[in-house]
Amino acid sequence: MAIPTEFSLAEAIAILTRTPAALDAVLRGLPDVWVLRNEGRTKDGNDTWSAFDIVGHLIVGERTDWMPRARIIVENGEARPFDPFDRFAQAKESQGKSLQQLLDEFARLRSENLASLQSMNLQPEDWTRRGRHPELGVVTLSQLLATWAVHDLTHVHQLSRVMAHRYRDAVGPWSAYLGVLNCAGHSAP
């Protein structure tokens, strides 16, 4: 069976290791207008996500998504489907916390999870191990790990868009040149 396109654990870890510091550099100490504003309501009346919500969502992923699913694949294979992921859990989980607390928590959990991942001592022959996603069906271990890294990037992508939204009018005619202001998001969220 072919190894999926160019997946490399070391390369994925290079991304995953850097995300907490990158979010910290962008967000810590930033005025609340940049941190708490969102892009308004969706068509079905839900609030879109602020920077604060995005960090909370990444924390929930560290707790309930990536490493728990990697362990299910290794221990149970397709026999046990993953637990569904709660995309709205951060509303409750982040309540009463400051952004600084969330940034610290995300950095700590990511660091612990990467230590656990490395202790699993996975090898290229493990990449094709299969698991069962509750909606997507059969997926492989390398797809899960690549998705973990790209999920970080998709939320950096979203974060820059959410922040830019605040100045969509302030830039005047330059909006035509600023791609981020013409991004409406591409999936939820």
**How far apart are the C-alpha atoms of 72 and 9, rounded to whole Å?**
18
Residue 109 tokens, joined: 């959990």
Q: Does 185 bind a second copy (CB under 8 A)?
A: yes
Burial class (CB in 10 A: 0-12, 13-18, 19+), 56: buried
CB of 22 to a second copy, least distance (A): 4
> Percentage helix, strand, coil, to 5, in the chain?
60, 5, 35
Q: Is the peptide bond before 189 cis (omega within 30 degrees of 0)?
A: yes
Which CB sits closer to a second copy, 95 or 135? Answer: 135
Instruction: Report if residue 36 touches a second copy, rule: CB under 8 A.
Output: no
Outline where DSSP puts E strands in the chain.
130-133, 137-140
Q: In the structure encoding, which two tokens stand for residue 48, read together?
A: 């879109």
Shortest distance, CB of residue 189 to a second copy, whole angstroms? Answer: 7
Give the x/- contact pattern for a second copy in 4-23, rule: CB under 8 A: xxxxx-xxx-xx--xx-xx-
Site map 139..168 versus a second copy, x via CB under 8 A: xx-xxx-xx-xxx-xx-xxxxxx-xx-xx-
Residues that bind a second copy (CB under 8 A): 4-8, 10-12, 14-15, 18-19, 21-22, 24-26, 29-31, 33-34, 133, 136-137, 139-140, 142-144, 146-147, 149-151, 153-154, 156-161, 163-164, 166-167, 169-174, 176-183, 185-189
